[in-house]
Structure 1
């Protein structure tokens, strides 16, 4: 680190290298926080989905297996316990407006924290008014909704892509409040959908048919690309169908620059694809446990070198070098299946949710040491104040 500081001061290197090196160091030192946690929400039950707003990077939205929804403030630490992210509001499953079954996906509206969206196994997609905690709009589908997503870079459309039990993907125009388009190409349930972080018209989808399709929604002919794990070389003479995995595809994530796509399948494999050519990069991440029948939330870091992919592995979280496939770390802390994880790019913190009904906080190790010092100093100050108060002379010269 001193080398980067010296280089920056002398002007011999790009100043951004220092920040990138520090961000990388912090990501590589992530561990379960011993002194900071997230206030437990009784509204959630099993934690299926997490999302952080992209406007302030402050509010954590979560969806639960019982149909409940919660929002936590990742900045405001009031009161005596200053090491807990508090829940600022929630929608319990007992609410007349809540989902009747499990919430599978949650997402903030990319341009404003005044709206967020949720969907689940009750076949409903809801658009919520954050201030009123009431649905602003609702859409019903014929089958279970496994995943939905809004483009993080869109300026020309406000479409929500919805993947459900049926083999088609439906696009909902949020401005018009109606169904806009239907994408046909998969042969089975669509488990996950993601818009490109580079091009607002490019959409990726993963399905139970083992396939991953890339779509340009401006073109009516269908998908523009079907990803092939064998890069055009048939696995056998009897199998000429292009498949991205040898199992259901239930995890998708674009890199920050949109040049690569990460896919996760129930063949226990993670794959990296070039989005321009559709080629499998053939990076070997090893075997990662995945037998899920629903969408799993995976994350890719930003602002560091090399990029790091964070993916659930049963009750653990695995961190890999994205382009080399080398394992960086195993994060252990959950007692049951991890369903989702979301990375905070400003703080270099990681949040994960699972079937143990917990949302865990993963911090760079140096942050936990600092917060422990604050906690100790706070206690010492409190004890000192108490001793002063106990020995203060309360004598008064006033007559009784």
Structure 2
């Protein structure tokens, strides 16, 4: 690290290199923080969490009990040990509460005064944070599995919604109605994601094993369907339909620059795709355990080199290197299956929620070079702690120079 600081001071290095190195080191040192608790409000499993990007201070959670909670992540006590308090709760006694499981919650990307939730009660609700009342309610014919708002859109205010119906619904916040339908899938839609690079590009994943990429300005159908075999018909089945996985595709996530798209499926595979061409990059992540029948909420790091993927895997969170497929570590601490995780880019922290009704905080634990060697043995066997893959040991050590 001293080497990076010296090079930056002398003008020999790009300042971003130091930032990337520090961000990477923080991610590689993630451990379960026993001093930070998150209020336990949910009486059933936690399906989804989201951290707003305006202040990086408030976190949403939605549970299988239909309850929605807003947490304040700031530490006002000045003490290392503190609890992230629930500031607002849409509980069972609230007349506007979802009747069944909340599957997705998301902050409005440009303002913390609004958030959106969707549920198995066949509704999607747009909430006013101040009053905790729905400003708009969208009704659908089937269970709502997922929704997503574009993080960058300026020319539209569309929410993409995936339901039990194979048609993707596009709902307009301005008009309060469903204005467009995307047709092409043959089964329920389990995940939808807008590109963080182009505001009109949308990716959708379905139980029909397919992932489609759309330009919502076009009326002629999807741009392309991802093909795990990259057009090699000798490896594909006799069917002409391109498939991304050999099972239900229940997870989607774009990289921060929008150049790549990650998918997960119930075939226990995760695949990395070129989002512009739809080409399978053939990165081998090995077996990525995936038993979820619904959407799987996984996330990526930001500002690291290399970037990392955090994927719920049983009662743990698996951490992979994005472009090599190496399993870096397993974060263990939950007592039951993990259903969702969210990365906090401001502090390189991770929050995860699961069927044990807990939200756990994983934070960087940075050690001095003198204590690094002493803690290696303890780090390998400790439950809820990271053990750094040898592939990244050189990266870790070089930061201490």
**Pairwise same-fold verdict (TM > 0.5):** yes
What is the alpha-carbon distance in structure 2 between the residues aligned to residue 80 and residue 299 of structure 1?
Answer: 29
State yes or no: 1:290 paired with 2:290. yes
Distance 1:325 1:76, change over 3 A: same
Indicate the residue corresponding to 1:383 in structure 2: none
Indicate the residue corresponding to 2:312 in structure 1: 312
What is the alpha-carbon distance in structure 2 between the residues aligned to residue 20 and residue 80 of structure 1?
Answer: 29
User: Where in structure 2 are the equivalents of 1:77-88 lying within 5 Å?
Assistant: 77-78=76-77, 82-88=81-87
What is the alpha-carbon distance in structure 2 between the residues aligned to residue 31 and residue 279 of structure 1?
Answer: 35
Indicate the residue corresponding to 1:177 in structure 2: 176
CA RMSD across the alignment: 1.4
Contact 1:77 1:86 in 2 (8 A): no
Question: Counterpart of 1:23 in 2: which secondary structure?
Answer: helix
Question: Counterpart of 1:24 in 2: which secondary structure?
Answer: helix
Indicate the residue corresponding to 1:136 in structure 2: 135
Write out per-residue CA displacement over residues 165-199 of structure 1, whole angstroms, 9 at most, x where no aligned residue.
Answer: 00000000001111110000100000000000100
Count of residues in Structure 1 that have an aligned counterpart in Structure 2: 367
Question: Counterpart of 1:366 in 2: which secondary structure?
Answer: coil
What is the alpha-carbon distance in structure 1 between the residues aligned to residue 67 and residue 93 of structure 2?
Answer: 8
Deviation at residue 29 of structure 1 after TM alignment: 0.7
Indicate the residue corresponding to 1:115 in structure 2: 114
Contact 1:299 1:311 in 2 (8 A): yes
What is the alpha-carbon distance in structure 1 between the residues aligned to residue 315 and residue 76 of structure 2?
Answer: 29
Deviation at residue 211 of structure 1 after TM alignment: 0.3
Structure with the greater alpha carbon radius of gyration: 1
Distance 1:205 1:95, change over 3 A: same
Distance 1:210 1:237, change over 3 A: closer
Indicate the residue corresponding to 2:189 in structure 1: 190
Indicate the residue corresponding to 1:168 in structure 2: 167
What is the alpha-carbon distance in structure 2 between the residues aligned to residue 164 and residue 336 of structure 1?
Answer: 27
Contact 1:158 1:173 in 2 (8 A): yes
> Which protein has greater RCO, CA pairs closer than 8 Å, 6+ apart?
2
Deviation at residue 93 of structure 1 after TM alignment: 2.1
Q: Give structure 2 stretches of 5+ with no counterpart.
A: 372-401
Q: Give structure 1 stretches of 5+ with no counterpart.
A: 370-400
TM-score norm. by structure 2 comes to 0.89
Moved more, 357-366 or 252-261: 357-366
Indicate the residue corresponding to 2:7 in structure 1: 7
Indicate the residue corresponding to 2:48 in structure 1: 49
What is the alpha-carbon distance in structure 1 between the residues aligned to residue 88 and residue 74 of structure 2?
Answer: 15
Indicate the residue corresponding to 2:101 in structure 1: 102
State yes or no: 1:231 paired with 2:230. yes
Write out per-residue CA displacement over residues 51-74 of structure 1, whole angstroms, 9 at most, x where no aligned residue.
Answer: 011211110000010100000011
What is the alpha-carbon distance in structure 1 between the residues aligned to residue 35 and residue 75 of structure 2?
Answer: 16
Indicate the residue corresponding to 2:258 in structure 1: 258
What is the alpha-carbon distance in structure 1 between the residues aligned to residue 77 and residue 188 of structure 2?
Answer: 45
Question: Counterpart of 2:366 in 1: which secondary structure?
Answer: helix
Write out per-residue CA displacement over residues 250-269 of structure 1, whole angstroms, 9 at most, x where no aligned residue.
Answer: 11000000000000000000
Distance 1:117 1:306, change over 3 A: same
Question: Counterpart of 1:262 in 2: which secondary structure?
Answer: strand
TM-score norm. by structure 1 comes to 0.90
What is the alpha-carbon distance in structure 1 between the residues aligned to residue 239 and residue 41 of structure 2?
Answer: 48
Q: Displaced runs of 4+ in structure 1, greater than 2 A?
A: 76-82, 234-237
Deviation at residue 45 of structure 1 after TM alignment: 2.2
Deviation at residue 6 of structure 1 after TM alignment: 1.2
What is the alpha-carbon distance in structure 2 between the residues aligned to residue 79 and residue 229 of structure 1?
Answer: 51
Write out per-residue CA displacement over residues 116-170 of structure 1, whole angstroms, 9 at most, x where no aligned residue.
Answer: 0000110010000000001111011000000000000000010000000000000
Write out per-residue CA displacement over residues 70-128 of structure 1, whole angstroms, 9 at most, x where no aligned residue.
Answer: 00011143498852111111111232100000000000011111100000110010000
Indicate the residue corresponding to 1:392 in structure 2: none
Contact 1:77 1:84 in 2 (8 A): no
What is the alpha-carbon distance in structure 1 between the residues aligned to residue 292 and residue 48 of structure 2?
Answer: 14
User: Where in structure 2 are the equivalents of 1:306-345 lying within 5 Å?
Assistant: 306-345=306-345
Indicate the residue corresponding to 1:222 in structure 2: 221
What is the alpha-carbon distance in structure 1 between the residues aligned to residue 265 and residue 237 of structure 2?
Answer: 23
